[in-house]
Structure 1
Amino acid sequence: MTITTTQSEMKLKRIFIQPQIPQELAALNRMSHNILWSWIAQVSELFSSIDPQLFTELNYNPVALLENLPPARLNELAGDKDFLKRLASAEEAFDAYLAEPMKKDLPRIAYFSMEYGLHISLKLYSGGLGVLAGDYLKEASDSNVDLFGVGLLYRYGYFNQGLSMNGDQLHHYPAQKFTQLPVEPVRRDDGNWLKVSVGIKGRMVQAKVWSLAIGRIKLYLLDTDHEDNAPEDRALTHQLYGGDNEHRLKQEILLGIGGVRAIEEMGLNPDIYHLNEGHAGFLSLERLKNYVAAGLSFPEAREMVRASSLYTTHTPVPAGHDHFPEHLMRDYLYNYATDLAIEWPEFMALGRLDPDDHGEDFNMSKLSIRLSQRVNGVSKLHGKVSQEMFTELFPGYTAEEVHIGYVTNSVHYPTWIANSMHELFSTTFGKDWVRDQSNKDIWRKVHKIDDKALFDTRHVLKVRLLNYVREKLKVDMRRRGESPRTTFDILSKINEKALVLGFARRFATYKRATLLFNNRDRLRELVNRKDQPVIFLFAGKAHPADHGGQDLIRQIVQISKEPEFAGKIIFLEDYNMEMAKLLTQGVDIWLNTPTRPLEASGTSGMKAAMNGSVNFSVLDGWWAEGYRPDAGWALPLERTYDDQHLQNELDAETMYSILEEEIIPLYFDRDESGISKGWMGYVKQIIAEVAPYFTMKRMMDDYFERFYLPLGQSARTVRQDNQKKAKAYAAWKEATAAGWSELETIENNTLDTVNYALPVGENFSAEVVIATNGIDPDHLVLEALFYQRMDEETIKLRRTQAFERVASTNGTATFRLSVDPHLAGVYEYGFRMRPVHDMMPHPQDLNLVYWV
């Protein structure tokens, strides 16, 4: 008998044998499908106790744990009275949390983000942007507000990092098993899986909709990796930030346009759309299209969209904002111009600075700013940087007048606090204090905690971290093929009595991870001080296309093998959320050394601060707000040199000096009980005076006060009476814009400042008559602006004073001003007219100015 090749090939089909959970353990299955378990310690500890080793191997994933448990173990648990008692207690806490009613009379918010860092077992994030979004959704649940998230469900997510023996970064993409994630299909009323169609270059791509329960709220995720789609379309939700620029465009179309369609299919009807970065910008195009299809004109539709949109930018440099060439926009979105009843050049102008520059790419941030009433940066400093970056969109205004505000990023306390630290706080702060976690008076009670108790708690966390470091290095170095002698040498030199400093974040070149190595001789002396051991821990990933960042990783790995740095300079591969917890909870000092002012916010230092790890950072991002001289150390915000190499050299030498002269001596200045009173002063001050300002509760409150509540009101206003006010406001804008170029100065009676000086203390007076060309004078304001010239290209606004309108006759308006500028020196001034309307949230809402 002859067996052919075809006959001998294996032919397999997939079958899912669903585990049968005993009825006594039904609560385990229910709780595993809501990631609330990740921040209720009682619940996560219950799952861990079932099989600690397996739970760790499965990335602390309860769904995977239950699926992989042998039936015998499940039956054993079902008969374990002690376990069932703990299960009942955990379920009671779980259900009590979920049972609290949602806050009333608040707007419903749809929050769009390309990534969400919720837990290590959910490969939906790459770094800080995603972790911030994940923390924000958790706080939305804790604060019981009406918010839901929209994103993409990635099959492979962001890469897992490996290292070669030489320190080269390796990229691994293990697939997620959706059956082992706490996600559920969203079903239509007929029971079928909800799918939405999105046009991608002439093809209709079908996206399944999943829901992920995050406490009391939901995150909805789109997934194209299924049989209904062609292979290239299935790949749309394979990798986060994978592929080329065209692939990124397709993903952003899916997120924005597909996300809005999913919301409509589910009937969620949000009041506000919050765009977390420009990745979601296309959602505004889909909303515009829907309003135009419902009978509104494009200007009217634009008012409806703007009145309910908030755009948050996280990027401090122009090159970091997504942009696409016109030919790609034409290939993928040409039909939208027709759908919006506008010409193609007008469509492209939504994402351009110069509508007539056909070589300019379509910029997602410019689109999002133009179609959002409110815009914010993610720290006070970043808000100012963003104003400067986007001033060019608003000619006639200086950076400080641009309507971009800020809300400083923060972190989710229950996710990032060490359990032992929380227990120590709670003994002094009181029961349920976390509900009022942004109250600094509560945090100041940390001064009542005994120094020794706090020191011992922190030391245990450091020992836990260093034990993890040893074990991870042992496994990773063996896998890389390092010699046993090298491995033993490094592990044997890790000293639990050392001052431990941590640097862990995305390895982009501007973050200057290797600044510390600028003077190797001085660093060598620093880490080899007798009786004062020091360890520097590094971790982080560089984007696969960022070869500069990968070079930094290689450099650190190679230095870490040199005998004088072995066990003292350590790079930990495959940085993730669980490692981040161990690091921020266990190090003594958290380092951050970005090039100023390129750190939009940063949040890892906040996580360290609430755990009592003292920060040492450049005064950039959040630390520019958080720094106190009694709660940490800082490199100055101001640059000394234009040459970045010289600035790096200065910063490195400053770091060495602060470490040698202040930080290390203070840490090792121990009393008879073995602790440093001076050091514990810093620890308590960063907890008491810094941590409360950077809790996610404060950030959520800020978003409501500064943006959500005003937007909720404007959204209600434009929806009323069949969009009556939106239509009238759009018509007013069109008419005002049409007549603006015909404004004319008839008279300008002002002090002759060319030939005469204005004495200090005397009033500056002027009278101006303007021909208004049919524009109602009630909708015009004339302002005197006094500027100080800083250099040939920069002026700073020092004083603004509105004129009084004293007459309106025969198509003219007369304005008069008499004001003491309260200034001295040389200034430049001008008279600027701008439109006003009771529906304008800020002057740039109709971006017209006329200079007298």
Structure 2
Amino acid sequence: MENNDNYSNWFLEFKKTEEYKAFAKNPVAYFCAEYALDSSLPTYAGGLGILAGDYVREAAMRGFPLLSVGLRYQKAQSVLSSKKQEAKNKLKTVIDKNNQEIIVSVPIGKRIVKAKAWLWEEDEAKVFLLDTDITENDPKDREISKCLYDENRDNRLKQEILLGLGGFRLLALLGYHASVYHLNEGHSAFLTLELVRHEMKHQRVNFRDACEFAKKHIIFTNHTLVPAGQEVFSSDKISSFIELCAEEICLNNKDITTLGAWESDSNIFSMTTLSFKLSTKSNAVSKLHAEKSKKIWPNQIIDFITNGINVKKWDKIVDTSIKNIWERHLENKRKLLTLVKEEVGEIWNETDLIFVWARRLVEYKQPLLFLDNIEKIIEISRNSPVPIRIIFSGPTGGNESPLVATIKKIIEEKLKGIAIFVPNYSTEIAEILTAGADVWLNTPLVGFEACGTSGMKAGLNGGLSLSTRDGWGYEVTPDEVGWVVNDSQNGEEMRSVVERNIIPLYFDHLKNPKDSVWVKKMEKVRSLIIDNFSTSRVLKEYIEKLYIPTLKQKHIHKID
């Protein structure tokens, strides 16, 4: 892996500053509902978890003081590997100075729920996880942390109270006094109420003034515009679940529900609205995402920090003694071919042109876009001078979605020998797919993909992208990453690019793979990702744009 001296030098210099010393004393608390820590741990469902896992590892690698907090689930939506024992070895019970297990008490509804604290560690990276599946709890309360993004709305709300209030209280029990609280999505927004409670106590101020003090501690990152990511509940439901919490703050429920009320309907409580109202700074995760966000929330000042990937984790072109990037790519492609043979039984050649579509299988990501004219795909394949192969994959959850069923049916009935669906998706399989793909297919409906990082992972390993102009793709020129199409609602333009541009260029490349236009494009996209789309750059920007300004505008007091 090439070193990026610009970022390494920046972090070395940053450690000499007074700001770094302040963070070392009072770290940044990073709250997220999901983390991709290990593919055998059911603590993630998709891109948010992958990003959080990459970010935590980057902060540890750079020596930046980050306290990461989430929930430990028993089940998740994604298919996981069988390496459960390996993951368990990285999980440890959190104990206090008296060698007693740390148990956090959280007011949910009319009951006090207990949560056990776990610590996941890998090298220097650490994440605290809360778990309600303990004997001290009522059987129903033991179910709170059972499943990530529980479809039961009552349980989902309990999870968000547990993450926000419980996560805040866990850090207090451990003696940490954070300088900044970083909310990722609105899932942890209830921690704002804990901060308000402490401001009322320490500043001896009323609720309204305490909210203004609390804001100075909090930043909020919105990761999606998709409705599923914007948690809303009825205000009546919120009132019933925060009853004890309101009593602790000596407030009536309406004072709290007003903070998250929709402007158009005060009976709807939005976790995103609460997060915006009680944060000093907020950001989107790409330039286009920020532009779209400002139209939805016109009264908010929304900056953007485009997502990136952890280069150390996702870089599979490791043999730098082989100078030609194509030869190094072929090593990864052979691993992909082995996976295809083992999982599907197909035997392909390393010179075949392999397209890959792999991510969460949801409507706005449009996995069927490229397949909306099967006859044309068959024609392209038949006329191509090189065999073309298409791989689909992604987490399917416990029940197969209609999208997955449709893709499998199309492959079985029309595209045998051309396309396959790779099952048992996991982070390990994702690493093989992103490293081995010749062309990465990215097909979101423009305006719906906040950023997307799978194409970055492919690009890091020399894979070229064929993409709609959404998310991070909005910030690069087509020549830098591969090919970009303007029509995100019809696959015709995409198939035309394959037929007229990609196949001829790849065929010419095979004639002289050491010095081809294709190889030059591979080298270009790899450099682009390392220089501009790594979590090194992401962490640096969060420190400069959000963490330091927040640190400088507020006080830090002891959290009881």
Q: Return the TM-score normalized by structure 2.
A: 0.91
Output the amino acid matched with 1:387.
K
Match of 2:290 among 367, 374, 383: 383
Match of 1:411 among 292, 309, 322: 309
| Partner SS for 1:237 | coil
Output the amino acid matched with 2:454.
S
Q: Residue 673 of structure 1: CA displacement?
A: 4.4
Q: Within the alignment, does 1:566 sit opposite 2:483 as a pair? A: no
Q: 2:509, 2:518 within 8 Å by CA — same for their partners in 1?
A: no
Q: 1:148, 1:217 within 8 Å by CA — same for their partners in 2?
A: no
Q: Within the alignment, does 1:195 sit opposite 2:103 as a pair? A: yes
Match of 1:470 among 321, 325, 341: 341
Change (3 A) 1:332 1:597: same
Output the amino acid matched with 2:44.
Y
What pairs with 1:813-852 in structure 2 (closer than 5 Å)?
none
- Provide the C-alpha distance between the structure 2 equivalents of 1:243 and 1:319, rounded to a whole number of angstroms: 11
Q: Residue 583 of structure 1: CA displacement?
A: 0.5
What pairs with 1:649-664 in structure 2 (closer than 5 Å)?
649=490, 652-664=491-503
Q: Within the alignment, does 1:502 sit opposite 2:356 as a pair? A: yes
**2:11 alignment counterpart:** none
Q: 2:239, 2:254 within 8 Å by CA — same for their partners in 1?
A: no
What pairs with 1:326-345 in structure 2 (closer than 5 Å)?
326-345=235-254
Q: Residue 719 of structure 1: CA displacement?
A: 5.8
Q: 2:110, 2:244 within 8 Å by CA — same for their partners in 1?
A: no
What pairs with 1:690-701 in structure 2 (closer than 5 Å)?
690-701=529-540
Q: 1:308, 1:715 within 8 Å by CA — same for their partners in 2?
A: yes
Output the amino acid matched with 1:529.
N
Q: Return the TM-score normalized by structure 1.
A: 0.61
Aligned residues: 541
What pairs with 1:238-253 in structure 2 (closer than 5 Å)?
238-253=146-161
- Provide the C-alpha distance between the structure 1 equivalents of 2:510 and 2:92, rounded to a whole number of angstroms: 57
Q: Residue 232 of structure 1: CA displacement?
A: 1.3
Change (3 A) 1:676 1:217: closer
Describe the superposition over 1:135-157 as per-residue Cα deviations: whole angstroms up to 9, x where unpaired.
00000001101111001111223
Change (3 A) 1:308 1:530: closer
Which structure has the higher relative contact order (CA within 8 Å, separation 6+)? 2
Q: 1:281, 1:364 within 8 Å by CA — same for their partners in 2?
A: yes
What pairs with 1:525-544 in structure 2 (closer than 5 Å)?
525-542=379-396
- Provide the C-alpha distance between the structure 2 equivalents of 1:409 and 1:176, rounded to a whole number of angstroms: 29
Q: Within the alignment, does 1:580 sit opposite 2:430 as a pair? A: yes
- The sequence identity of aligned pairs, in percent, is 33
Output the amino acid matched with 1:498.
D
Q: 2:79, 2:397 within 8 Å by CA — same for their partners in 1?
A: no
**1:235 alignment counterpart:** 143
Q: 2:75, 2:146 within 8 Å by CA — same for their partners in 1?
A: yes
Q: 2:459, 2:481 within 8 Å by CA — same for their partners in 1?
A: no
Q: Residue 544 of structure 1: CA displacement?
A: 6.1
Change (3 A) 1:666 1:174: closer
Describe the superposition over 1:85-141 as per-residue Cα deviations: whole angstroms up to 9, x where unpaired.
xxxxxxxxxxxxxxx999534351000001101221322111100010000000000
Q: Residue 678 of structure 1: CA displacement?
A: 1.4
Q: 2:462, 2:523 within 8 Å by CA — same for their partners in 1?
A: yes
Q: 2:354, 2:389 within 8 Å by CA — same for their partners in 1?
A: yes
| Partner SS for 2:554 | helix
What RMSD over aligned residues (CA atoms) do the two structures have, in Å?
Answer: 2.6
| Partner SS for 1:612 | coil
Change (3 A) 1:176 1:683: closer
Describe the superposition over 1:805-830 as per-residue Cα deviations: whole angstroms up to 9, x where unpaired.
xxxxxxxxxxxxxxxxxxxxxxxxxx
What pairs with 1:786-825 in structure 2 (closer than 5 Å)?
none
Match of 1:611 among 461, 464, 470: 461
| Partner SS for 2:370 | helix
Q: Within the alignment, does 1:266 sit opposite 2:174 as a pair? A: yes
Output the amino acid matched with 1:462.
K
Output the amino acid matched with 2:319.
E
Q: 2:106, 2:162 within 8 Å by CA — same for their partners in 1?
A: yes
Highest CA radius of gyration, 1 or 2? 1
**1:631 alignment counterpart:** 481
Q: Residue 346 of structure 1: CA displacement?
A: 2.9
Q: Residue 557 of structure 1: CA displacement?
A: 0.7
Q: Residue 558 of structure 1: CA displacement?
A: 1.3
Describe the superposition over 1:254-284 as per-residue Cα deviations: whole angstroms up to 9, x where unpaired.
1100111111110111100000111000011
Describe the superposition over 1:595-652 as per-residue Cα deviations: whole angstroms up to 9, x where unpaired.
111000011111111111011111110111133425310012xx6xxxxxxx623xx1
Change (3 A) 1:236 1:338: closer
* Greater Cα offset, 326-335 or 507-516: 326-335
**1:363 alignment counterpart:** 270
**2:489 alignment counterpart:** 648
Output the amino acid matched with 1:287.
L
Q: Within the alignment, does 1:598 sit opposite 2:448 as a pair? A: yes
Q: Within the alignment, does 1:160 sit opposite 2:59 as a pair? A: no
Change (3 A) 1:219 1:689: closer
Q: 2:480, 2:528 within 8 Å by CA — same for their partners in 1?
A: no
Q: 1:293, 1:339 within 8 Å by CA — same for their partners in 2?
A: no
| Partner SS for 1:236 | coil
- Provide the C-alpha distance between the structure 2 equivalents of 1:353 and 1:468, rounded to a whole number of angstroms: 48
Q: 2:311, 2:530 within 8 Å by CA — same for their partners in 1?
A: no
**2:10 alignment counterpart:** none
**1:668 alignment counterpart:** 507
**1:372 alignment counterpart:** 279
Output the amino acid matched with 1:591.
L
Q: Residue 178 of structure 1: CA displacement?
A: 9.5
Change (3 A) 1:540 1:405: same
- Provide the C-alpha distance between the structure 1 equivalents of 2:418 and 2:75, rounded to a whole number of angstroms: 34
Q: 2:356, 2:390 within 8 Å by CA — same for their partners in 1?
A: yes
Q: Within the alignment, does 1:297 sit opposite 2:206 as a pair? A: yes
Q: Within the alignment, does 1:456 sit opposite 2:456 as a pair? A: no
- Provide the C-alpha distance between the structure 2 equivalents of 1:150 and 1:627, rounded to a whole number of angstroms: 37
Q: Residue 535 of structure 1: CA displacement?
A: 0.6
Output the amino acid matched with 2:455.
G
| Partner SS for 1:268 | coil
**2:7 alignment counterpart:** none
- Provide the C-alpha distance between the structure 2 equivalents of 1:422 and 1:627, rounded to a whole number of angstroms: 27
Q: Within the alignment, does 1:147 sit opposite 2:66 as a pair? A: yes
Q: 1:101, 1:144 within 8 Å by CA — same for their partners in 2?
A: no
- Provide the C-alpha distance between the structure 2 equivalents of 1:125 and 1:707, rounded to a whole number of angstroms: 25
- Provide the C-alpha distance between the structure 1 equivalents of 2:78 and 2:457, rounded to a whole number of angstroms: 24
Change (3 A) 1:588 1:126: same
Describe the superposition over 1:366-419 as per-residue Cα deviations: whole angstroms up to 9, x where unpaired.
00000100111011111111111111xx3xxxxxxx41111111100111010x
**1:3 alignment counterpart:** none
Change (3 A) 1:203 1:339: closer
* Greater Cα offset, 198-207 or 512-521: 198-207
| Partner SS for 2:279 | coil
Output the amino acid matched with 1:417.
D
| Partner SS for 1:375 | strand
* Greater Cα offset, 455-464 or 249-258: 455-464
| Partner SS for 1:521 | helix
| Partner SS for 1:501 | strand
- Provide the C-alpha distance between the structure 2 equivalents of 1:101 and 1:219, rounded to a whole number of angstroms: 26
Output the amino acid matched with 2:243.
Y
Change (3 A) 1:101 1:197: farther
**1:78 alignment counterpart:** none
| Partner SS for 1:305 | helix
**2:373 alignment counterpart:** 519
- Provide the C-alpha distance between the structure 2 equivalents of 1:198 and 1:671, rounded to a whole number of angstroms: 62
Output the amino acid matched with 2:330.
H
Q: 1:586, 1:613 within 8 Å by CA — same for their partners in 2?
A: yes
Q: 2:42, 2:76 within 8 Å by CA — same for their partners in 1?
A: yes
**1:137 alignment counterpart:** 56
Q: 1:195, 1:207 within 8 Å by CA — same for their partners in 2?
A: yes
